[in-house]
Structure 1
């Protein structure tokens, strides 16, 4: 999912409900969300950001870095700023409980899924996160369930239908092929059209080319022109379009 670029694929509630570990932890208060998930001393980051491309050549103050556990609260703020639309808020309501759910989901993936790469673009003038992305450097089958069980503030039938529609599109176009998925990309409204999204997209495309993988994205109408500049092609099946998102594929360039 990506806004200015928007994101998404999922699995059903049944599959989500079978998951173990941090996802099963339930918390009672929003201010307790950090303690809801067991902490781990493991460092997150198994792939180095190419710092030679991390700063805009035009003198931009924006810099590309790996996101860390400490960034999660701000990543959630950026998400709700970037995806502040009726369609997205119907799926992920902006409630304390759902924010807590996002905290657990992001924390679990950073700690336990080394091929799920969280990246951020930072404004070096003030330390703010301008944008972030989550690249899944594995197939849907390798990744397993994308999200934990839905929070009680969510509509499980709506969410399942939305996510399953996205998964069907990905399977139709790149199923059986090595492919990387831009699971999420959001840019804060204060930093639109400053090149942050391009930095995040470019990183994933470079990784895909290095490993000979297709790249896939469920793109919003606003984001499609940006993706096209990186070689993504809209191959949507209009009969299965989810929330107006386009199924876009990029072939590996060796």
Structure 2
């Protein structure tokens, strides 16, 4: 029986995290497009990009769920980006020549078009202080045990303390999970381009309260 604890991710965890990410998203088209096929080369490319973000994004919180009954195996991961005060989001750039994990030029063109549209939607919608649930996965063999729910609850509790909403972009696979946690659909995107069929939802969770009653003591 699994015994799960949630703790912070360390730099030494990233090889295991990347391997788990590819396993968790092997049926998710956009993840295959944005990270490529599961090969040692693409794992290394993704690891280097992730380590750079891990070391430079001071507003980013990475957490892991580990099974202490299975050698402290990393069975789930979540990333939250804290943006409690509204500042216009910077536009992330992804040039076609940087898509070194993709070999097909047509795939690169499709990702370029899709990425620009996804970013445009995000910049248009996210105009408030918030917490962004940026990444979440649980290994296939550990699903259905409430691990994803605990990782989601952690961020939602933090957002309630900060009195800001949580925003995220959900795949069709994850969409029902977030609905159960009270997230609502804001917009729906669907792209059918070449061999790719990518569908996702922009979702938002309102904080429980925007003010806190203070109990006065004598």
TM-score bin (small chain): 0.7 to 0.9
Equivalent residues in 2 for 1:1-254 (5 A)?
61-85=3-27, 87=29, 88-93=31-36, 94-126=38-70, 127-138=72-83, 141=88, 145=92, 150-154=98-102, 155-174=107-126, 176-238=127-189, 243-254=198-209
Q: In the TM superposition, what whole-angstrom CA distance separates every residue of 1:67-99 from its partner, at most 9, and x where no partner exists?
A: 110110011011101110262323322233321
Distance 1:150 1:213 in 2: 35
Question: Which segments of 5 or more consecutive residues in structure 2 lack a partner in the other structure?
Answer: 210-218
Ranges in structure 1 where 5+ consecutive residues have no aligned partner:
1-58
Residue 153 of structure 1 aligns to a residue in which SS?
Answer: coil
Q: Deviation string for 1:161-201 (max 9, x for gaps)?
A: 33333323333332x20122111111111101111111111
Structure scoring higher RCO (CA < 8 A, sep ≥ 6) equals 1
Q: CA RMSD in A?
A: 2.7
- Give the TM-score, by structure 2 length: 0.78
Contact 2:34–2:111 under 8 Å retained in 1: yes
How far off is 1:222 after superposition? 2.4
Aligned counterparts of 1:68 and 1:211: Cα–Cα separation in 2: 25
Conserved? CA contact 2:45–2:101, under 8 Å: no
Secondary structure of the 2:23 match is helix
Q: Return the alpha-carbon distance in structure 1 between the equivalents of residues 189 and 45 of structure 2.
A: 32
How high is the TM-score relative to the length of structure 1?
Answer: 0.68
Q: How many pairs align?
A: 195
Q: 1:205 to 1:164 in 2, by over 3 A?
A: farther
How far 1:128 sits from its partner (Å)?
Answer: 0.6
